[in-house]
Amino acid sequence: MNPVHTMDEVATLLHMSRRWLQNWLREHPADRFGNPFCSQLGSKKRFTDDDVNRILAACKEDQQCHLNSSRRARPKMRHGQFAIISLGAPGI
């Protein structure tokens, strides 16, 4: 049987804070196949080693997506001469 880890233990394994893990799980409740990243036992979340590995894999996928996404450059301001149009002003 695989060992079961608590939220604090998993946060320590990942070298992250408990708060970071809670927020990450809130934003990513399940992997891309719909499998939850942890088991809910009563009011407690419990994790297997496989769950921890899937969390790491999902973080890598997120990072890869950010690296591959093309960031659009800000549009350049066009500088040029503008004609002044006068509505009946004398001398122009």
pLDDT digits (tens, 9 = 90+) for 13-55: 999 999 999 999 999 999 989 999 999 999 999 999 999 999 9
Q: Is residue 88 part of a domain?
A: no
Q: Is residue 76 part of a domain?
A: no
What phi, psi does 46 have (nearest 5°)? -130, 145
Q: Is residue 83 part of a domain?
A: no
Q: How many CB atoms lie within 10 A of CB 68?
A: 7
CB contact at 8 A, 52 and 35: no
Q: Is residue 91 part of a domain?
A: no
Q: Is residue 2 part of a domain?
A: no
Q: Specify the pLDDT at position 5.
A: 97
Domain that holds residue 37: 7-68
Mean pLDDT of 78-82: 62
pLDDT of 57 strictly over 60? yes
Q: Specify the pLDDT at position 9.
A: 97
Q: Specify the pLDDT at position 2.
A: 73
Domain count for the chain, please give it.
1
Residue 92 CA to residue 85 CA, distance in Å, equals 8
Q: How many CA atoms does the CB half-sphere of 62 hold within 13 Å?
A: 10
pTM given for the model? 0.67
